[in-house]
Structure 1
Amino acid sequence: MRRKPVIAIVPLGHYIYFEQFEGLREELMRKAGEFLPYLEDSAEIFVTEYVDTVERAFQVVRSLRQQDVDGVFMLLTTYLPSSLAAPFANYLGDVPQVLVGIQPLAHLDYANCTTYMQLVNDDICAMPEIAGVYGRLGRAIPPCIVAASQQEEDIRAKVRAWQRAMVAKAAFKYAQFGYLGHTYEGMYDMHTDPTAFSGAFRAHVKMLEMCELDKLAQAVSAEDIAQKIAVIRETFSIQDPSIDPLTDYVRDEDLEWSARMACALDAMVEKNDLTALAYYYKGEGGNLYERMGAALILGNTLLTSSGIPLAGEADLKTAATMLIMNRLGGGGSFAELHPFDIEGNCVLIGHDGPHNIAISQGKPILRKLKKYHGKSGSGIGVEFSLRAGDISMLSMNCQANGRFKLVAAAGVSLPGAIPQTGNTNTRVAIPGMNVCEFIRRWCEAGPTHHLALGTGNRLLEIRCFARLMGLDLEVIE
């Protein structure tokens, strides 16, 4: 079951002021209510007690630990001593925290300013003190949001970027990444150390067996198959062969076998409580496991489109970037670089599966493929482009020093023709950059050859996520 993240808004102030200025506490407390609308409903959001003493800070921290929060917005409503923030640094060190200073006025009314007015607008006064104390305590210095209340669009963009990053990080919390089969032979960039992955992302990598998938496939009922075929027919446009001689007619037995394996994948995900799955199995001579592995594209596409990413060729790292892209709001489809177009100044980006049809341009197409290039077996392929507009690319590799590195870029999905080969292909252009120059810089950043392709410009959210996770990031722009 997908866990909904929990994010707290913690308003903070200084109790001594409230003994000196009547009504100040109540006025400052209203800032939390004004901040709430900036957040999205992708998480369970709540406002804690107002923290104006160390004792209350300890109470709130204990409560947040019990609620297993996934993120905290520290709303600085006026000056406060850093001792009030220190408990959050000391006892919630693994929880993403953002310091927020939103000043009510664009500027003080200098001719008529009172001490009371200054205190109401002292939202950033304690920010450097608190940030410095986090550093002295050996904790990550929290990112800061600074704005005047009139800058609503800027505030909304920054708050939601950090919230989405918190949600993406929370997706790895208590997560189980399935690993079925083995990496594609010779693809050295696919190999990932499960222990290193767990250390970086805190998720468990669960080793799965083809015989388990076989057992689940045998248990699928005729009724389950019929229901899945109905979903497939409603979701996809089933096409006749194209000009490519590898394409063929999709026959009833093709749909039935793919539907059976899709049901088996659903059962495997549910049985093992999987957040994501990396898989690949070659098989030989048309044996059962080869036929099973060749029939997974439809099922993994449906699962990926529902928010449970599956990555082919047993690419654990790209299963992770697809999950990140999904939780950042971009969908996330499995992809790699295909041929480029110097006249259109774009590059085709796609793959033979898995895909995310939730972000497709129009109804996705099904084509029967007599063979999968570079792989054994035959089966159904999915063909579409990402919908036209802004897109983002996110890849991950493991460096020689053992650290994971993200490589990202933002571009545009262009409308236009794509090959009718039963694979996804999106015409991607990077505004202001020659396509060959972009490809050169992308490759020299050292990604894996796979990536998560998503909708929208997600660079701000990706930067936020990388900071929260402590990951290296290179952006090609």
Structure 2
Amino acid sequence: MTILQPIKPIKKARIGLYTIGLAAYWKQFPGLRERLLEYGRFMQTKMSEYGEIFFYGLVDTEAEGRAAGEWFNEKNVDMVFCHSGTYCTSSAVLPVHQICKAPAVVLNLQPAARINYEQTTTGEWLAHCGACPVPEISNAFARANIPFRVINGLLGLDYTPQISLTNENTKEQQAAIRAWKSIEDWIRAAAVPRTLRHSRFGFLGNTYSGMLDMYSDFTMIQAQAGLHVEILEMCDLDRMLRDVTENEVRQKLAQVQEMFTISEDSPADPIANRPTEEQMQWSCRVAAAQEKLVREYDLDALTYYYHGAPGSEYEKLQGGFIVGHSLLTARGIPCAGEGDLKTAVAMKICDILGTGGSYSEIVVVDYEDETILLGHDGPFHIAISEGKPVLRGMGLYHGKQGTGVSVEAKVKTGPVSTLNVTQTGEGKLKMIISEGESTNGPIMKIGNTQTPVKFRQHPDEYMEKWFQESPTHHCAMAIGHQAKLFQKVAELMGILQVTL
């Protein structure tokens, strides 16, 4: 559906890759150098599915290591993968990472699950001994205060090189699958800080008065997440509204009718009714203005809240926010209500990773099903919806002013994760990560998004642990079990994290 095409593309991670070996080997063992480079080029091709890859080639002396470090700096890489192809002195590897400060990951990926013991030569063995220098490299990194990670496993070729004396087709083996899943996660995670450093977050209006957990220092957010906060006024949006044409309203209405089910009156809640024609037209007009605002200010995300004086034009304007902000969220511009900038960051992280990121808070606990319903009365991420979301006309927005159209929906049934971005007493950002299962349990028909989630602990035990971490009360909900991926993002961003 065209409605789900992103307004702005996600920036791909820029990844450095090099293969290591010992210069003395090349004359002693003909073909070994070329074989290792073939492995490196295979990795380059496979990694290119996830990011922009810069393969330096072979590092086999300290001079080559220094040249590689400078080259990676020129390429402005976000991470550097060191492919341990065979033994190499740590003196050749260390300069790469002393010069290029990008996070380092060592790849110990053996070409074959088992060598041919009867026929293997020294040269053949050297093509399989990538693990040999990793302890030495790890020690050098530690003593040089260079953080690093190591991925162990199989290379995952789908063929056997002609020079090989054993079967190297290991693509389907679990040790290869696990290793490449980790590599993929690191590259996907590296796209987050790169995209955030080039992002503009709109802050429209103010933070809901009294919600102390959500107040943040814009400078602190930029210092730790790299994003720019553009402060916007309601008159900026009102200016956009005045330029909306009738044709643009009709186009938005067509999008809404494609993506949503229009409700009848709620059987339970007297304030939740079928949206009136006037409400639908107004929501679509405001949605067209909201997209104009995003494009005018080149926004990558939006945080907003404004109640407006009773009966004022701005009160009416904010009453039409939810539909348009749901459409924007579905197109890669996450919109977080109540002025919650930290949760907008969490939603954007999920969106960059392609996992959704719907605005949520605790709605109610179902002790019979042992689930916690998570959702909100604001925008919803349509792309991760279980079926078509429902639009309901709201006679009032509880705790807020005005009336309008709201979204009633739930996230797809199956594995889900929550990502809470909060702030410590020391002013540090912190991620709180959880995994659970979205169930097919019932939800209320009150015009709010709600997803029943069964976490790994009983709701009381889970909430005790969650609340002890001092979260912001909103969070982003993503599809899939993403804890390991979120942990990598936190590490690359230098942000504290806890996984419940």
Q: TM-score band, normalised by the shorter chain?
A: over 0.9
For 1:456-471, what aligned pairs fall within 5 Å after superposition? 456-471=480-495
CA–CA distance in structure 2, aligned partners of residues 220 and 109 of structure 1? 72
Q: 2:195 aligns with which of 154, 171, 182?
A: 171
Code of the aligned partner of 1:271: E
CA–CA distance in structure 2, aligned partners of residues 368 and 225 of structure 1? 18
**CA deviation vs aligned residue, 1:442-468 (integer Å, no higher than 9, x gap):** 111211000000100001101111111
Code of the aligned partner of 1:416: G
Aligned residue pair count? 473
Q: 2:51 maps to which residue? A: 43
For 1:323-362, what aligned pairs fall within 5 Å after superposition? 323-362=348-387
Question: Which segment drifts farther, 6-15 or 371-380?
Answer: 6-15
CA–CA distance in structure 2, aligned partners of residues 357 and 412 of structure 1? 19
Question: Which segment drifts farther, 267-276 or 406-415?
Answer: 267-276
Q: 1:234 aligns with which of 242, 255, 258?
A: 258
CA drift of 1:419 comes to 0.4
- Secondary structure of the 1:362 match is coil
- Secondary structure of the 1:172 match is helix
Check whether the contact 2:432–2:469 (CA below 8 A) recurs between aligned residues. Answer: yes
Find out whether 1:119 has 2:143 as its counterpart.
no
Q: 2:346 aligns with which of 321, 325, 340?
A: 321
- Relative to structure 1, the CA distance from residue 115 to residue 398 in structure 2 (aligned partners, 3 Å threshold; closer, same or farther) is same
After TM superposition, the score normalised by the length of structure 1 is: 0.94
**CA deviation vs aligned residue, 1:255-290 (integer Å, no higher than 9, x gap):** 222112212221222222222111111212121112
Check whether the contact 2:455–2:462 (CA below 8 A) recurs between aligned residues. Answer: yes
Q: 2:446 aligns with which of 421, 425, 431?
A: 421
Question: Which segment drifts farther, 207-216 or 42-51?
Answer: 42-51
Question: Which segment drifts farther, 57-66 or 402-411?
Answer: 57-66
Which sections of structure 2, spanning at least 5 residues, go unmatched? 1-7, 156-169
Q: 1:28 aligns with which of 18, 30, 36?
A: 36
Code of the aligned partner of 2:468: E
- Relative to structure 1, the CA distance from residue 161 to residue 51 in structure 2 (aligned partners, 3 Å threshold; closer, same or farther) is same
CA–CA distance in structure 2, aligned partners of residues 136 and 205 of structure 1? 39
Q: 2:460 aligns with which of 433, 436, 454?
A: 436
CA drift of 1:117 comes to 2.8
Q: 1:447 maps to which residue? A: 471
CA drift of 1:176 comes to 1.5
CA–CA distance in structure 2, aligned partners of residues 356 and 282 of structure 1? 23
Check whether the contact 2:110–2:128 (CA below 8 A) recurs between aligned residues. Answer: yes
Code of the aligned partner of 1:267: K
Aligned-residue Cα RMSD (Å) equals 1.9
Q: 1:91 maps to which residue? A: 99
Find out whether 1:162 has 2:190 as its counterpart.
no
Find out whether 1:106 has 2:113 as its counterpart.
yes
**CA deviation vs aligned residue, 1:318-375 (integer Å, no higher than 9, x gap):** 1111111122331110000111111101010001122101000001111111111111
Q: 1:224 maps to which residue? A: 248
CA drift of 1:92 comes to 2.8
Question: Which segment drifts farther, 222-231 or 63-72?
Answer: 63-72
- Relative to structure 1, the CA distance from residue 415 to residue 261 in structure 2 (aligned partners, 3 Å threshold; closer, same or farther) is same
Which sections of structure 1, spanning at least 5 residues, go unmatched? none
CA–CA distance in structure 2, aligned partners of residues 350 and 403 of structure 1? 26
Check whether the contact 1:40–1:160 (CA below 8 A) recurs between aligned residues. Answer: no
- Relative to structure 1, the CA distance from residue 56 to residue 447 in structure 2 (aligned partners, 3 Å threshold; closer, same or farther) is same
**CA deviation vs aligned residue, 1:137-170 (integer Å, no higher than 9, x gap):** 443x121101134412211221122122112222
- Relative to structure 1, the CA distance from residue 128 to residue 286 in structure 2 (aligned partners, 3 Å threshold; closer, same or farther) is farther
- Secondary structure of the 1:368 match is strand
Code of the aligned partner of 1:72: V
- Relative to structure 1, the CA distance from residue 177 to residue 105 in structure 2 (aligned partners, 3 Å threshold; closer, same or farther) is same
CA drift of 1:42 comes to 4.1
- Relative to structure 1, the CA distance from residue 172 to residue 246 in structure 2 (aligned partners, 3 Å threshold; closer, same or farther) is same
**CA deviation vs aligned residue, 1:372-399 (integer Å, no higher than 9, x gap):** 1111111111111111100001101111
Q: 1:184 maps to which residue? A: 208
Find out whether 1:148 has 2:149 as its counterpart.
no
Question: Which segment drifts farther, 279-288 or 110-119?
Answer: 110-119
Check whether the contact 1:38–1:160 (CA below 8 A) recurs between aligned residues. Answer: no
Question: Which segment drifts farther, 273-282 or 43-52?
Answer: 43-52
CA drift of 1:291 comes to 1.7
Check whether the contact 1:38–1:155 (CA below 8 A) recurs between aligned residues. Answer: no
